[in-house]
DNA sequence: CGCCGAAGTTAGCTTCGGCTAACTTCTCGG
DNA sequence: CCGAGAAGTTAGCCGAAGCTAACTTCGGCG
């Protein structure tokens, strides 16, 4: 069941492909390269290798898509990342934002044994500290119907579910704004201001495009959990 | 104070140089290459690079010695390794022998922040699970006057202090034999048998050359702690 | 003394994963 | 319908760190 480990680069490419289109739609070279902070030729090059190895397929000019195998590998890496992130925050008391960067490195180094020990000690959590679901050991990822905070119409109320990682400054900003998983948020004045956990926040919803929320049918105001 | 991180290879070479001669005497290419499981030319090559970078000096044909800077770096890596090893055993319940291999990889990946969080949570230990002293954060390593079990004369009694790592099978053998830090041992029948923690063990002391002990002046027998 | 073998080094190749420069191919605006 | 610019690819290079093959050097023994 446990297949040989891929190189760090490969794991990063697969993870990025998954992150960009959830493993469904095809991904173009440019956004992929941008996310991985490499040049386009480097990405083209690596995609060719991954294709040779049966981890992605190349379609029309510039498009790539994960194969079933590639998807499995991507989810394995994502699982590593999220378990690690959770462990670093819960067990080692790392800063919410810092944990992401650390996990980014460690996800390529921890063995299955160590990861499982961490997972076990955490009580096999289903979510990482940003609210993202953690793929289970078979690579199954819970699907949720969320929308980005940006997409919320004025007056709408929602519960924050996921605070996208990837940008450290962004996460710090969210935490300071109270935009953490479980917090209640209401869009005010046509998106020009927010109300987070009952406190008014003079910032446009647009600044928090990485926040995904679950819209509430009711308009009841509640304090955050 | 925190200098830029070296490559994994470099850290491994420096650690090996330190391990082979404690940072004092010069090390020859062949044993170094053997320990790192690379060929002699590879070692020569890397030593040249390390010399260029001021981490080692090359003396007579084939000899290398850590510089003060190289020694500091080696001790930093050694510290990482030993803190990690301790953490993996104490906090994550890993097998005594397995922890070594895991630490060997992770020592090149953990950040100072994570390492310090682990160290802190462990209560800033002074010894790893094999009994080896852990260099402090300034790179100072406690020196101890120990002898190898092999060197003990028949009839001598000693306390096990360090059980050398590096070989997984060896460590497993030691643990099964009761040769763990703190155990009392007596050499019987001219080295052909041992008494460990009061139990007779029909194995030559020579099979445990990686075990370092503190000889006891008195010949009193005690049970192990 | 001379020569053999061990130890070390040099030279040159390989893979990995980047990079730049230059070319091709699409798409879209005028 | 054509041409500009964006997107992608090709070609060729780089550095890290390994490797083998072949050469040098040295130490010791017959």
Is residue A151 very low, low, confident or very high in pLDDT (cuts 50, 70, 90)? Answer: confident
Is residue B22 very low, low, confident or very high in pLDDT (cuts 50, 70, 90)? Answer: confident
Q: Are A171 and A97 in contact (CB under 8 A)?
A: yes
Confirm whether A116 is domain-assigned. no
Q: Are B168 and B100 in contact (CB under 8 A)?
A: yes
- Residue at which a domain ends, from A43, A70, A97: A70
Q: For residue range A99-110, list pLDDT tens digits in order.
A: 999 999 999 999
Confirm whether A103 is domain-assigned. no
| pLDDT at A121 > cutoff 50 | yes
Residues of A in contact with B115 (CB under 8 A): none
B222, B152, B224: which is closest to B193 by C-alpha? B152
What's the pLDDT score for residue B191?
Answer: 66
Residues of A in contact with B92 (CB under 8 A): 114, 117-118, 121
Whole domain around residue A200: which residue ranges? 147-215
Confirm whether B64 is domain-assigned. yes
| pLDDT at A129 > cutoff 80 | yes
Q: For all residues of chain A together, what is the average pLDDT?
A: 87
In A, minimum Cα distance to B112 occurs at A102
- Closest-CA distance, A105 to chain B, in angstroms, reads 6
Q: Are A117 and A84 in contact (CB under 8 A)?
A: no
- Closest-CA distance, B121 to chain A, in angstroms, reads 8
3-state DSSP call for residue A180?
coil
What's the pLDDT score for residue A35?
Answer: 94
Nearest-Å Rg of the Cα atoms of chain A is 19
Confirm whether A50 is domain-assigned. yes
Cα-to-chain-centroid distance, residue B86: 13
Beta pairing, strands A27-28 & A63-66 = antiparallel
- Name the residue facing A93 among B102, B110, B117 (closest C-beta): B117
Confirm whether B115 is domain-assigned. no
| pLDDT at A219 > cutoff 70 | no
Determine the average pLDDT of the residues in B37-57: 96
- Residue at which a domain ends, from A70, A87, A105: A70
Measured CA to CA, the distance from residue B224 to residue A58 in angstroms comes to 64
Q: Could you tell me the CATH number of the domain that includes residue A47? A: 1.10.10.10
Q: For all residues of chain B together, what is the average pLDDT?
A: 87
Q: Could you tell me the CATH number of the domain that includes residue A183? A: 2.30.30.90
Where is average pLDDT lowest: A65-69, A78-82, A94-98, B221-225? B221-225
Show which positions of strand D are touched by protein (CB under 7 A).
7-12, 16-22, 25-26
Q: For residue range A30-42, list pLDDT tens digits in order.
A: 999 999 999 999 9
Measured CA to CA, the distance from residue B99 to residue A125 in angstroms comes to 24
Determine the average pLDDT of the residues in B120-125: 97
> How many angstroms separate the Cα of A152 from the Cα of each of A67, A164, A203?
34, 16, 14
- Residue at which a domain ends, from A49, A70, A91: A70
Confirm whether A220 is domain-assigned. no
Distance in Å from D12's C1' to A60's CA comes to 26
B118–A105 C-beta distance less than 8 A: no
Show which positions of strand C are touched by protein (CB under 7 A).
7-12, 16-22, 25-26
- Closest-CA distance, A50 to chain B, in angstroms, reads 25
What's the pLDDT score for residue A45?
Answer: 95
What's the pLDDT score for residue B186?
Answer: 87
Q: For residue range B131-189, list pLDDT tens digits in order.
A: 999 999 988 888 888 888 888 887 888 898 988 766 777 777 888 888 888 888 888 87
- At a CB cut-off of 8 Å and minimum separation 6, what does B104 contact? B81
Pairwise pLDDT comparison (A197 vs A10), residue with the higher score? A10
Residues of A in contact with B102 (CB under 8 A): 110-111, 113-114
Confirm whether A39 is domain-assigned. yes
Q: What are the residues facing A165 on neighbouring strands?
A: none
3-state DSSP call for residue A44?
helix
Confirm whether B94 is domain-assigned. no
Q: Which H helix or E strand runs over B211?
A: strand B211-215
Number of domains chain A is built from: 2
Q: What are the residues facing B22 on neighbouring strands?
A: none
Measured CA to CA, the distance from residue A19 to residue B112 in angstroms comes to 28
Is residue A2 very low, low, confident or very high in pLDDT (cuts 50, 70, 90)? Answer: low
Provide residues of B within 8 Å CB-CB of chain A. 88, 91-94, 98, 102, 105-106, 108-111, 113-114, 117-118, 121
Measured CA to CA, the distance from residue A195 to residue A177 in angstroms comes to 10
Per-residue 3-state assignment (H helix, E strand, C coil) for A67-95:
CHHHHHHHHHHHHHHHHHHHHHHHCCCCC
What's the pLDDT score for residue B2?
Answer: 61
Measured CA to CA, the distance from residue A64 to residue A27 in angstroms comes to 5
């Amino acid at each position: 069941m446990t297949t040989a480990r891929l190189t760090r680069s490969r794991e990063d490419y697969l993870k990025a492909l998954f992150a960009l289109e959830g493993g469904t739609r095809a991904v173009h070279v440019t956004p992929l390269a941008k996310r991985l902070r490499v040049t386009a030729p480097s990405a083209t090059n690596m995609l060719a290798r991954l294709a040779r190895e049966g981890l992605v397929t190349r379609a029309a000019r510039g498009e790539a898509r994960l194969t079933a195998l590639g998807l499995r590998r991507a989810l394995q890496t994502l699982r590593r990342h999220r378990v690690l992130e959770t462990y670093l925050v819960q067990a080692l008391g790392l800063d919410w934002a810092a944990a992401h960067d650390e996990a980014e490195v460690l996800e390529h180094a921890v063995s299955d044994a160590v990861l499982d020990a961490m997972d076990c000690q955490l009580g096999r959590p289903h979510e990482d500290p940003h609210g993202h679901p953690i793929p289970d050991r078979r690579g199954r990822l819970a699907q949720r119907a969320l929308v980005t905070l940006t997409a919320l119409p004025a007056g709408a109320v929602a519960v924050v579910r996921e605070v996208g990682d990837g940008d450290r400054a962004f996460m710090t900003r969210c935490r300071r704004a109270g935009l953490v998983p479980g917090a209640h948020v209401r869009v005010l004045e046509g998106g020009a201001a927010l109300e987070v956990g009952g406190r008014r926040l003079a910032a446009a919803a647009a600044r928090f495009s990485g926040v995904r929320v679950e819209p509430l049918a009711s308009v009841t105001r509640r304090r955050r959990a």
